[in-house]
Amino acid sequence: MQIKKITCIGAGYVGGPTMSVIAQKNPNVQVTVVDLNEARIAAWNDADLSKLPVYEPGLDGVVGEARGRNLFFSTDVDKAIHEADMIFISVNTPTKTYGKGKGQAADLKFIELCARQIAAVAKSDKIVVEKSTLPVRTAEALKSILDNTGNGVNFHILSNPEFLAEGTAVTDLHNPDRVLIGGEDADAIEALVQVYEAWVPRDRILTTNLWSSELSKLVANAFLAQRVSSINSISELCEVTGANVDEVSRAIGYDSRIGAKFLKASVGFGGSCFQKDILNLVYIARSYNLKAVADYWEQVIILNDHQKVRFAENIIKTLYNTVNGKNIAFLGWAFKKDTNDTRESAAIYVADHLLDEEANVIVYDPKVPAEQIYRDLDYLGTRSPEENRRLVKVVNDPYEALAGVHAVAILTEWEEFKSYDWEKIKETMKKPSFVFDGRKLLNRSKIEGLGYVYYAIGE
Ligand code: NAI
């Protein structure tokens, strides 16, 4: 079966870039990305490509090439479902904030709403592809809804989890380590294989059963996050023993069984996926009474939370045990460089901790707007929105953020921070001038040479 029309429900960080690349590489397939969020769709359609709702290096070029040719963004979900042969579901699957499984289980209400809408609208057979990250065996629920509420048409369900990393989404999509497709129907699998074969070598397209595919995505994120927490746990040990975590990472990373990637100590991982997916894995293990398995993976989160608290507390302790009324500049708010995504960013939690101590925080991030920063803090509900606006100032110029502050905290590894005129900054800062480098971005000897007191994780 040759796919001619694809619809993707959800125009977020995954749906937008993934479908843009599918459209770019399959000029004969019409790809429509739909979303309920009108502002988001308007931004995807903005003639000015710098206004796309997702910032990713290279994405403007891909969208510019395909949009209007065979790539469309729309809010007309029904029409797009009706027309498509293949429908990707790429809506958000956040951690539940209510009821059973609150704080751990994935909230599948958006997925279910999509399934019901597809079932209600579809008048011809469809292949439905789970692109969102889902708990293992979700396809079963999807199938049941589609088959029992539909118009008697056939639905085939595939699982096709996305492994792109934000900040490198376009290169990851152009050159994936692997594409994973889980399913039961050979023809449906082959139809999706053909879409990817337009640019991905066949031997990098793996096919499995549905449940292995669903579970593999959770496991991949759990393993990646576990490496971060593992090296972060060692960073604390390094600080008390005189070892240097970068040297330890290098020494163990040379072992080909361990490998060098993802061994960088930091203030902790963030992003919308790692924590949510591990919590989900923990919840699933608990629901099958696998207590040892659940406890094992939960430690990855516990350690990550510890690392953020530790970073904030070190700032307070170093600033003579009080930050009340002191000005602390935050360089970076995004959860990693080269993205405007702030979900679960370590910066949010470090700021929250310092604000509890009545610090004044001045934030500069090259891609995150002020409204988003306030929204992130307000969402925590720790203090009133007015309080957050009283204590936190967001500026558009890094030198303005840094002028006259007691300390600088680096929360995101944006490259541009390295090239600032740190000599000039030092002149304006309070003395002693402290730098807390949560990303180990700056060069210690250079910064200390300028007279700063420099703290980097794991040293
Ligand atoms: P997102 O929140 O950026 O985008 C989801 C979009 O779906 C939103 O714009 C929302 O308005 C829309 N939506 C929700 N319900 C809808 C409905 N019924 N009809 C139409 N639109 C609807 O989320 P993101 O980051 O794109 O994640 C999507 C899924 O992909 C999640 O399951 C996530 O775990 C997974 N994922 C995310 C990765 C990432 O780096 N962000 C990487 C790999 C997987």
End residue of a domain, out of 208, 241, 274: 208
Average pLDDT estimate for 10-30: 98
Residue 1 has a pLDDT of: 82
Looking at the chain, the whole-number percentage of residues with pLDDT higher than 70 is: 100
- Predicted TM-score (pTM) of this structure: 0.94
Query: End-to-end distance of the chain based on CA atoms, in angstroms?
Result: 58
We report the CATH number of the domain holding residue 143 as 3.40.50.720
End residue of a domain, out of 208, 229, 253: 208
CA distance 8 to 19: 7
Residue 216 lies in a domain: no
Residue 424 has a pLDDT of: 97
Average pLDDT estimate for 210-235: 98
Residue 227 lies in a domain: no
Say how many domains are in the chain.
2
Nearest CA to ligand 1 atom 30: 132
Q: Which domain holds residue 171?
A: 5-208
Residue-wise pLDDT for 275-319, tens only, equals: 999 999 999 999 999 999 999 999 999 999 999 999 999 999 999
Say if residue 12 is in the same domain as residue 158: yes
Query: Which atom of ligand 1 is least distant from the CA of 40?
Result: 9
Q: Does residue 107 have a pLDDT over 90?
A: yes
End residue of a domain, out of 148, 183, 208: 208
Q: Does residue 141 have a pLDDT over 90?
A: yes
Query: Which atom of ligand 1 is least distant from the CA of 163?
Result: 43
CA distance 359 to 357: 6
Residue 313 has a pLDDT of: 98
Q: How many angstroms is it from 341 CA to the middle of ligand 1? A: 12
Which residues fall in the annotated binding site?
10-15, 35, 40, 91-95, 132-133, 162-166, 217-221, 257, 264-270, 273-276, 335-336, 343, 439
Residue-wise pLDDT for 72-94, tens only, equals: 999 999 999 999 999 999 999 99
Q: Does residue 262 have a pLDDT over 90?
A: yes
Say if residue 165 is in the same domain as residue 21: yes
CA distance 373 to 396: 13
Residue 44 has a pLDDT of: 98
How high is the mean pLDDT of the chain?
A: 97
Which residues fall in the annotated binding site for NAD(+)?
10-15, 35, 40, 91-95, 132-133, 166, 273-276, 343
Query: Which atom of ligand 1 is least distant from the CA of 276?
Result: 34
Catalytic residues: 273
Strand order in the sheet with 407-410: 392-394, 360-364, 327-331, 407-410, 434-437, 453-456
Q: Does residue 383 have a pLDDT over 90?
A: yes
Nearest CA to 360 out of 411, 326, 388 is that of 326
Residue 151 has a pLDDT of: 92
For tokens 């994936």, the residue is 176
CA distance 91 to 146: 17
Residue 236 lies in a domain: no
Residue 126 lies in a domain: yes
Nearest CA to 365 out of 409, 399, 412, 408 is that of 412
Name the band, by pLDDT with cuts 50, 70 and 90, for residue 369: very high
